[in-house]
Chains A and B, each alone.
Chain A
Amino acid sequence: MASGSRRHYPRCTELVVVACTLSCAGPAEIPPTPDLSPLESEYDTPSARLQDSPRVQSVLDSAPDVEQLAASFRSAGALLDDVDTASETADRRTGDGIRLRGALQLGVRCPGHDEDPVYDAAVNGSVSFTLAVSDNAIRRSFSGSAAQCKLRAFVRGTPLRVVLDGDVAFDLGSDLRLGTRWDRTRVLVSVQGRVEVEGFAFSGVSARFTSERFEYLYSVNDGTVILLFTQRGVGLQDAEGTWYCQFGSDACSLD
């Protein structure tokens, strides 16, 4: 060896790291999830102030049929029932001392408009969701894509034809631990695509609902209001409070 030259040997730790990089499995990627918190804030604090009953009635007259919207969005919400199936499926891969992460791709076939459901994606469309799994839990929000998904909704026993198409996003309210069932307390839906109800199309709409209350974000001249459908009937929430209108009457009162 020539004077002044040095022969370098790789350190043991470097060899181990390189060997491990070549042979060890890396962690699964957690897909990005949509952030629906700004939309949630709009539902929590509508900005418009309607101030009087005639104005409230005017807004309700110009708004879409909230009852139909409620039925339509709830039929779309039924697609989320399979989140429980995904949770149970992934739960079988975990156990004591195990942390699971990654992505779950759900493909849900839509039932169609007929009384007897036909779960054929070529006939009645489908919806695909990407659920993010982190630390043994499905993250609360996720996005999906509907391909001419045909659904059947009901308003006072009357069936409605609903078609969902394009990008959608959901927020379940809280992360879902694997192996547990979604409590269905509330869900926030954002449809960047299109939802058709008996041929009437709505684009870029959203809704938030529980089993007893349906909320629809509606823009008016000076801000936003929330159209409500509850057991009390149709109502409206603005920055001042919640208005309910008597059926068959122009009188609306502030709660």
Chain B
Amino acid sequence: MLARLIALASGCAALASPFDAHADERPNQRTDYTAYTRPAGRVSFGPLKLELGLIDEITIGTYVPPWFAFPVLGSPVPNGYLKLRSWWSGPITLALRGGLLFIDGTAVAELADEDASASVLETSAEADISFRFGRAITLSAGVDYNHLHAVGDTEQAATQIEGASTADTWNSRLFLEWHLTRVFSLTVLLRYLIYQGPVDADADLEGTVVSIEGDLSAGTSVPRRRFAGVPGIAFDWQHWELYLGVGYGVFPLPVVGIPTSRAYPVVDFAFAYRFDLYD
């Protein structure tokens, strides 16, 4: 499937004038779903995400809404990530990204269907590779890993958060950008849920008459759908970027990254203002 997509992309690139297939890299490359990072000193600030390119190869960022979640969840949800990309120039770029997110027990109880008596630390990692076919076509592939871990005095984490099964998950994705003009692009995001492991759901009770010790695990009970497809459009102006896609399938919950247990309509949205903090 990947070979066919590459062949298709190559064919499209050959037809896609007015771009020169041997031209330089684009000045503002999308960092979502790709191996690209922000240039040194570049700040991207939007209602959903804040990113800073420390140097060309290192970008740090955080998701904005969770920091202001306390009116809804009772406490903010601190989070952050670090992305490293390969240092060489050329059509192939590699990147690794790691992220952390901490959900306080109060917020877990608000999110989960059941009572939770522990805070949750979510760790994520992803590996990306991007192929650039001139200035017109970019094809990116990536693998994501998410893990939820209960922290605190108790070890009982919520089994479910808003309909998503909490578990170790592995996702893969393919992202295609076709830059029709300098500003406007067509995009297609394809996701495939590789694996979702069951989560420990131990249940313990100590009473006067009875003591209960549970060695349980939880997995999804619905027929597992794994695919998602999100076609979209992208606008890339000098200081503004707008990405919008609508599709369907199993998708990772925003910020938490845990896939939904069922397929839903998917909206992929990003909007930000860019400026240079330093050269």
Chain A interface (Cβ < 8 Å from any Cβ of B): 16, 19-20, 23-29, 82, 85-86, 89-90, 92-109, 119, 133, 135-136
Contacts and interface: CB of A to CB of B under 8 A. Distances in A.
9 contacts: A89-B214, A92-B115, A95-B113, A95-B159, A96-B163, A97-B163, A99-B221, A103-B214, A106-B211
Nearest to A136: B221
B170 A20 contact: yes
A151 to B, nearest CB: 13
Instruction: Give the secondary structure class of B's interface.
Output: strand
Contact of B159 (A98, A119, A135): A98
Interface string B220-251: 11100000000000000000000000000000
Instruction: Give the secondary structure class of A's interface.
Output: mixed
B99 to A, nearest CB: 16
Contacts of A92: 114-115, 203
A102 B212 CA distance: 13
B201 interface: yes
Given A108-B209, A119-B208, A94 B219 contact: no
Contact of B214 (A27, A97, A102, A107): A102
Nearest to B213: A105
B195 A27 contact: no
Nearest to B260: A97
A103 B215 contact: yes
A11 to B, nearest CB: 13
Nearest to A109: B209
A25 B147 CA distance: 10
Interface in B174-218: 194-195, 197-205, 207-218
Contacts of A99: 218-221
Given A24-B167, A24-B168, A25-B198, 20 more contacts: A16-B143, A20-B170, A27-B217, A82-B209, A82-B212, A85-B207, A86-B212, A89-B203, A95-B114, A97-B160, A97-B163, A97-B165, A97-B220, A98-B159, A100-B218, A102-B214, A103-B214, A103-B215, A108-B210, A135-B221
